[in-house]
Chain A
Amino acid sequence: MSDSAVQGVLYGSLAAGAIGMWLATSPRTAALRVLGAFLASAGLIAAVAMFSGPGGDVTNKILFWLFAGSALLSGVLMVTSREPVYAALWFALATLGTCGLFMMQAAPFLAAATIIVYAGAIIVTFLFVIMLAQQQGRSFYDYRARTPIMSIVASWLMLAALLWNFQAWQKAPMAAAGPALTAEAATNPFSQPSDVDQFDSLRALGLSLFGDYLYAVEIAGTLLLVAGIGAIAIAPRRAEGTL
């Protein structure tokens, strides 16, 4: 495809996605909303397809589109679902899709950790949703999206800007960044390739964490502890018969 055709498809699919989002959020009939959700995710996927696709063999490509598609679709559905429980479930699916993408980006440990952490968190959240919101029946506030048009316009503008930027990079990876940034990238330690051979090994990540970032890891652990204590302190004591 030519450049202009790519541009046209990209922005056209983005526009379709925006319309789909609007359909999905605004209180129409259920069928329209489902249609809108699919339109939105289809638009997003089409926009993604305009970028250089995943390398590797066919399996790789299939896996990518599976994960990316499920992540985007469940993301759209999570945002627009009127039922908090379903929204939570869609979020879980989006997490799974994202973790698949993590795996494909040579981060198996992160994928596993994210699933564990978020699955735990999701279960807890899920329970909360059910116990709190569904106790007295369904809640009216889940049925009304607040300022949907303004937020969709703003968000889609941001998305378009980001994608346009990625495209520019794709065409001229370094030139687009300008000479000063290119020079800086040459010396920036975060831009240097790692000297480890096994890029996707847990051992390499462990060396990086407990070597380069030892203090940060300790501080993060402390932070976690403090947050746990804080959560216990903040949470109201359970009164008899109430949550």
Chain B
Amino acid sequence: MTADSGCYLAVGAALFVLGGIGFVTRRNLILIFLSVELMLHGVSLTLLTFGRMHNNLEGQSFTIFMLTVAACEAALGLSLVLSLYQRTKSLDVDIWSKLSEPDLPKWDKPVQPLESRVLREERPASPRLTKAGGLPEIDDDFPVELATSTDPRKILTPSPPDDDY
């Protein structure tokens, strides 16, 4: 081990562990996804350091493959997230808990929709894109019907809301 590798390894381990914490504690599908990427960063850094320690390029090559696989994973993962979102109109991962034992007490209390004072007293200042272009007004019932429907064909190809459109 070269003299200066220890700190790099330590940073890699710390990033990996932070990603792990994020993976377990976050409930947002996209953030879970990002946590995995953070773990990958930690691993990449460790691999690079090992390669440097051995004075060869294996670590770098390996990391390039990891990058490739991460790109694949991002493409597939995002399309999965998208289709999951289409079904429920929510990114909450806890909605997808059908595998649970039927009569089990939930870990979490059922979460109320956000009308809590916590929300009101905290800032509603997240940046928001303005509505793009001139999309027609959407019928309010339409997405709800989509969300409650379980027939995948119906979700994929809903009848257009307006015939002369």
| Complex contact B8–A151 (CB within 8 A) | no
Chain B contact residues: helix, strand, loop or mixed: helix
Residue of B nearest to A230 (CB): B76
The reply to whether the CB of B160 lies closer than 8 angstroms to some CB of chain A is yes
| Complex contact B114–A137 (CB within 8 A) | yes
The reply to whether the CB of B28 lies closer than 8 angstroms to some CB of chain A is yes
Number of interface residues of B (CB under 8 A): 98
Q: Complex formed: what's the CA distance from A107 to B66 in Å?
A: 15
Interface residue ranges of B60-116 to A (CB < 8 Å):
60-61, 63-65, 67-76, 78-83, 85-86, 90-94, 107-108, 111-114
Q: Mark A82-107, 1 if CB is under 8 A from B, else 0.
A: 01111110010011001001100111
| Complex contact B63–A110 (CB within 8 A) | yes
Q: Complex formed: what's the CA distance from A140 to B41 in Å?
A: 28
| Complex contact B34–A78 (CB within 8 A) | yes
Query: Which of A83, A140, A205, A243 lies at the interface centre, i.e. has the most chain B CB atoms within 10 A of its CB?
Result: A140
Q: Mark A54-86, 1 if CB is under 8 A from B, else 0.
A: 111000000010001001100110110001111
Q: Given known contacts A166-B9, A223-B68, is B136 in contact with A241 (CB within 8 Å)? A: yes
Chain B residues at the A interface, C-beta cutoff of 8 Å: 1-11, 13-15, 17-22, 24-28, 30-31, 33-35, 37-38, 41, 44-45, 48-49, 52, 54-58, 60-61, 63-65, 67-76, 78-83, 85-86, 90-94, 107-108, 111-114, 118-119, 122, 124, 126-129, 135-136, 138, 142-143, 146, 155-158, 160-161, 165
